[in-house]
Amino acid sequence: MKKTLTFVVNVLVVLAIFFVGFAYGKQSIPAENFVYDVQNPDVGKPDEVDFGIFWNAWRMVNELYVKPTDTDSKTRVYGAIKGMVESLDDPYSTFFTPEQSQDFQESINGRFEGIGAEIGIRDGNPTIIAPLKNSPAERAGLRSGDRILLIDETSAIGMSLEQAVTIIRGNKGTPVVLTVLHDGDTEPSEIRIIRETINIPPMEYTVLKSKDGNIGHLQVYNFNDQLEQEFRRVTKQILSSDVKGLILDVRDNPGGRLDIAISFISWFVDQGDTVVTERGRNPEDEIVHIAQGPAKLKEIPVVVLINEGSASASEILAGALHDLRNVELVGEKTFGKGSVQTYQALPDRSSIKITTALWFTPAGSSINDTGLEPTVAVENVDEEEGAAEVDEQLEKAIEVLEREIGSNK
């Protein structure tokens, strides 16, 4: 593990709305530079801030608190930093203690044990973005948009993202009970989930029959390392077959790595096209991400399937193809997670993850908080509500794609 750990993390969902699972990494952080007591290095104190108030409060706690052995100096420093970051009122900015930092980095590099769901913050509360494919969360009945009310016996109302993740994740074979409110329900549901090792399939490809010939249905579950290799294999199959069009299905896809998403999009648009723009607090911080090619699928008709579980990199894909190729977006409004976080390690192995930029589509639309509206709105009805065993959104996507194929003849 490199000692210099300052980097902008373009793992869009893994950082901002990372896996609810305990990770076992293959590397460790050197055990050095612990904070044993308060130190006062001069790192550029802002002139406009009166730190005398802080030190007066510090002195009062040290001298007057009735139980002086309840907390040590390090814990109080961490509490102060945590409060400062929380004052930003941004669910994706957080402070990690050294122990939490190690868990977080292992969650990026290791394998996961947990319930297999992505969590974000909506209206100030932990919310299920999407249960992962074939995960314990999916099998137990968690749905995109579920508002988490209780985690076991602990209220989740107003809980931060990291607090919720810390409580929910755990070792394989152990249970957790989530009390959630499904979209449209008035009464909460109690869902018991047994944690497992989570393996995320990158994608599945099937060929569907239609009146105009064969249509490819590509379900992309996550923009991770495995996707690039799998997709290259599938593109050979697509290019050598008689497939007339493609349905790119990113429903319940919570995101993944930005570079993988850009590489994926680059198959469908012209090389050099702007895919997404990253804008920070200063104009000079703007970064334009462009398609790198090979653009071998840019002529094939495409429809994108979306829902409220489509977040981050999935929204970048949908926004780019809609803006650059006028591709139809079929389904439901997306989640609206369009920000990037910078992760910086501190000298004692604690760390800060802070939002430093927002994403914008090629046409200049912001993704963050607002999400993307479908151009063809279709709401799938839950089977529990008496719906037939038919994927209405997929059926509509086939219909829209057939119309597109027909217009190109």
**Residues acting as catalytic residues:** 312, 323, 337
Measured CA to CA, the distance from residue 259 to residue 256 in angstroms comes to: 9
The residues with which 360 forms a beta bridge, in sequence order, are 277, 366
**Do residues 195 and 165 touch, judged by C-beta distance below 8 A?**
no
Query: What is the DSSP code (8-state) at residue 297?
Result: T
| CA-based torsion, 133, 254, 20, 370: positive or negative | negative
Residue 21: how many other CB atoms lie within 10 Å: 27
User: Strands 376-377 and 94-96: what pairing?
Assistant: unpaired
Structure tokens at 202: 């990158």
Measured CA to CA, the distance from residue 213 to residue 244 in angstroms comes to: 7
Measured CA to CA, the distance from residue 195 to residue 168 in angstroms comes to: 9
Asked if the peptide bond before residue 294 counts as cis, ω within 30 degrees of 0, the response is yes
Backbone conformation region of residue 70, classed left if phi is above 0, alpha if psi is from -120 to 50, else beta:
alpha
User: What is the identity of the amino acid at 26?
Assistant: K
- In terms of Cα–Cα distance, which of 328, 212, 308 is closest to 252? 308
Helix (H) and strand (E) counts in the chain: 10, 20
Helix 258-265, helix 313-325: angle, nearest 10: 30
Q: Exposed, middle or buried by CB within 10 Å (0-12, 13-18, 19+), for 165?
A: buried
Which helix (H) or strand (E) is 79 found in, with range?
helix 73-86
Q: For the chain, how many residues are written?
A: 409
Structure tokens at 352: 């800060």
Residue 312: how many other CB atoms lie within 10 Å: 35
Structure tokens at 344: 């910086």
Radius of gyration for the alpha carbons in the chain, expressed in angstroms and rounded: 23
